[in-house]
Every structure is written in C-alpha cells, then in structure tokens.
Structure 1
Amino acid sequence: MTTASLETPGTQSAPGAALKLFTACFTALADNIERVLKGKHEVVELALICLFAEGHVLVVDVPGTGKTTLARALAASLDGTCHRVQFTPDLLPSDITGVSVFRQDSGRFEFLPGPVFANVVIGDEINRASPKTQSALLEVMEEGQVSVDAVTHEVPRPFLVFATQNPVEMAGTYPLPEAQLDRFMMRVTVGYPDHASEVEVAGGTAVGPAIAALPTIATAQHVAEFAQVVRERVRVPPPVVDYAVRVAAATRELPGIRLGAGPRGSVALVRAARVRAGARGRAYALPEDVKALAGPVLAHRLVLAPESELAGVTAADLIAEVLARVAVPQPTAGGNGSSANGA
C-alpha cells in the first residue's frame, strides 16, 4: 500500500468502511517500518499508537538497538514534514522553538520557526540538553503551540515528538523532570533483536540506504483524518474507562511509590487503548487493551520511594502488581460491552 492506493476516510460513508481503512493503513505502516527494524513488531505498534492517539513517545535504550532507526523509518513512511534535533548541552530554547528577527527592509520583527514546527520531530538524546532547553518542549507537547515574544504560533497537525535517550552513559546528561516525562504518552524500549533478526540485519544492506528506499504509505492528512475516525468510531465502554482510571489511581496508593500516575496518565491510557482496538479492527476497546498498554503508558510516570530503589524494585514491577490487584471488568451478555466488577 502506498499513498497512491490509500483512500482517505472521507470517501467512505459507512463507519465500518472507514475503520477498515484505518486498520489497513496502520498495518501497512507497521509492515513498512519493519522492513528496516527487524523483529520489533510490538515496539513499532506502540510508536504508531502514539502517532494516531496524538501523543508522544520516548524511546530509552542502549546504543545500537535501533532507536533512531525506528524514528527515521516512521518519518520516512509519512508524506509529512520531519525535523531532527540533536540535543546537546549548548542547545538553546530558541534553537527549538524559533526566534523573532528584525527585518530592516520592513521595519518589523519576523518570526523564523524552529525545527519543532513539523509533523514529526525527532529529538535525539533529549537528556543531553539543559533543563532550560528541555522546558521549551513543555508547552508544544501539551498544547500544540509555541509562545515566542507573547505571540502564539500553532504547530502543524499531526504532531509527534519522538525522543530518544541512552540510559547507560550518564556523563554530561540532565535527567528529564517529572513534568517533561508526564507529557510523553509512552516510554518504550527497543531491546536487542533475536538471533535470526540480527543475522538478517548483519548480512543485509546498510540501514541508511534502506530507510531512504522506503515507500511513503500515508500523508499527514491521512494520519489526521484517521485519528479523527478512531476518536469518533471506536468506543471505550464506561466500565473500561473506569478500569483504566482505577489502574492509574492504584499506582498512587502503593507503599513503594512516592508519586503515582496523575490524571494525564489515565487519559493517555484510554486514548491509547482506543487506537489499539481500532488497529485490530474492533470498534470497541476491551480491558485487555488497557492491560497491554499500562506498562508503556504509566511506568515512566511513577516516582519510586527510596526503599523501593534500594530493593531493586522497578516501575514495571509495580505496574504488574497493580494489574494483579485491580479487578478486571467482566463481559456482559450483550457482547461488546463490559460491566465493572468492583475494585
């Protein structure tokens, strides 16, 4: 499937047909990215869920596992604007958002947009920039706009920040504050490929030329329209919403956590579950969608207590404990809906 063969959902009057188009587009994008990122279907799916849920993704892993490859392959699969920012300690906020320049010929200030004005913004090694520069992303990641010299400028839609981070080399880095982490819909890891996939990569062509040869699957307009299709035509039953909220709220009550997931976490969990359901061809979300996404959506929002860190407990361990404790809604006799089972 390419942009030439992909129909826009607006050409289909039936809700079911539009959802089928979204499922086909999602699958085609995943297959296209996996041509260069072998054996990482789950990670690719999570990145695409963030794209269509209008969220942002933070990929944290050791060097050489394919973090930037995933970002570049995703951008190459879309016929939209893509800007890459190499985060360094000397990077300034204006290097990201843009700056107002005085034009002598007109006698006026003119705003020159920064690299954040793109459909896909790749922030490479985001934790190498100073906290002052990192804070330049707070407004645009939450509100889709940039304020410079008391003037607000909207970024294009869709808008995805795809940031990478190396968790091993900590020299010359600045930890991302909780407010910054909370604006990422998901935090994922790529991990090492399996043996067969690594053999295929090692014996194949270079990644750079392979990414350049990837066909374009969807336009920015396709992504924006399909995101609307998912919002309007994939329903999340009230018991499933209640379950997602109870899972997020339970993270605030564990003794090993100093700070749990806030309301932004539960909202992100519901939005992501909706897209996951649509990607599987369902017009309704299930508790299994919430359970599958709870780790990537909520784990990075937790601040562990010192005793948990000393004991070697991870946020993923605590999310697993929460999922084991919170009761799952049971299906009703009606079929697609669910009924809450009580906490």
Structure 2
Amino acid sequence: MTHKITLIPGDGVGPEIAQATRRVIDASGVNIEWEVVEAGEALIPRYGTPLPEHVLDSIRRNRVALKGPITTPVGGGFRSVNVTLRQELNLYANVRPARTLPGIVTRYQNVDLVVVRENTEDLYAGIEHRVGPDAAESIKIITRQASERIARFAFELARKQGRKKVTAVHKANIMKLTDGLFLECARQVAREYPDIVFEDMIVDAMCMKLVQAPENYDVLVLPNLYGDIVSDLCAGLVGGLGVAPGANIGTGAAVFEPVHGSAPKHAGKNRINPLAMILSGIMMLQHLGEDEAANRIYEAVLAVLREGKALTYDLGGNAGTSEMADAIISKMLA
C-alpha cells in the first residue's frame, strides 16, 4: 500500500531534519508518496501569511502530515502556525510520549508516560484584548464537548497501548467553573473504563510529583495551557526537546512534528539532532498501521544510541544531522 503524506519542511533547521527523517522513513521499506509543501516566514511576502490555504488543503486531502518546526515570533507578529493548524483542522488531541532512551544522560530512569493535551480551547483560543492602556484580558474557554472528547481519547489511548492509569491534571481548586468542568467531564468518562485506574491531580502538585517520581505516572490528560507546560517538563525528564516527538490528531487529519523550535542560528550547519522528528515519524507510521516499519526504525535508533558513535553535539557526540540519519539507516539495513 502506498501512503500519500504531506511533508512540511518548516523554517530554520526544519529542512535539514525533515530531509534526514524522510531518508530514514524511506529506507524502512514503507511506501510513501511525499507531497512537499512550504510553510513559514519565507512565505509571508508572497501570501501575507506563513500558512497559505493550499498547505491546509494538502493536509485535508492527504489526512496525514509530517511537519518540521516553524518560527513563531514572541510578543508580536503572526500567530503560531501550530495553533492555527490545530484549530483550522480541528486537531483536538496533542500527544507527546516521554520515554527514557539508552545512551542519553538524564537524572531519571524508567520514564515511560504519555501527555495527552486538549488542543483547541482554553487560553490558547486566543480570545484576548486590551482593557485601556495599562491592562489586558484573556478569556479561558472550557467546554463539555472538548473536555469529554479529550478524556475519552486519553482512555482509549491507554487501553490501546496497554497502559494502566490515567491522571487528569487541573486547577479546579481555584478555577472552579472552567477547570471544574474539565475535571467533572474526566470523572464521568473514567466510569466507562473500569479496567483503567483514574486519579486527578492539581497541576502544581503534578509538576512536583513528576520531578520526584515520574515512573509513577502513565497517561496524563490536561487542558491546553497546562498540557503545553507539563509536556515540556516531561521532555526534560528524558533528555530534552531534542528527543521529544509529538502528534496532533483529529477526526479528519493528523500532523506529526518534533516539539522543539526552528533554531534559526543553527540552520544550514548540519549539526541539529534529528531524533525528535524521526521519533515523530515513527508515531506517524504507527498511526498509518505500518507497525513493522515503525519498529524497524525504532530499533535502529536504539542501536545507534547504545553504540554512541554517531551522535550529534547535544547528545555528547560530534556527528552531523545527516551522519546520524546515515547511521540509523545503516542499522536498519544491517
């Protein structure tokens, strides 16, 4: 079977890690026809936006996309391409696994959890305005429909992956109506899954417990803002954003992407670790039902990490982006 996939190389180091990932996936034996479309800062002069409509159309048509990082200005300029993609395509579930990998030095061992983040509302709905010259207001939106949907997604993921516990993370002790509704919905959905342990945790306590004993947690489900913050914390437990894959999944489309930014100062230097995007590609293959190819790549990644000879600078080595991809391909073909 041939899969047609939208490939968005992105900004900064995006094209380099996208090319490395494409080569690794192609070498796995899966049949993919790549439809390459550009998005990012360079398109603004031509289209007035970093995300032209034809990019969205490609994803809608192919239903699956692999995307490199795209620059988002801080404090001004265009709105996040990632947020726009999620809202335009209703990619309501952000999925970010955090798993300990061999050969990567961290303070923790035996971490294996998944953060499931609601992707379409909360403060990230972007409903904000100035209140006079000296104040600004942002409106937090939480709905029953979105809260039930993300809770059910988390429980279904736990069941599919053979995981034992779902933890709903909130601040319902303070935001009793918004986070209270999220927690109420999570508790209601949990009753449908008696085979899975359910608990809830206030978000500040959750952060403390994650840095104390992350091995105690399995699937976390959170509203948008907390999910963004806690998923980066979890990436830090296993080595940082350079090894953090991600997926944005909806009913009609799914976009897979590394979590890290575009790192424009490193662009074109062939030095950035491609693992986050390669691991995102593995998630994409699993989504497509290509488990054999996904496993082949993952085992090759583990072999390269254990060997420790073809690692990029952030992992303690001196290999380039393309050389690390070459090493992974070599392990697959051995």
TM-score (norm 2): 0.30
TM-score (norm 1): 0.29
Larger-gyration structure (1/2): 1
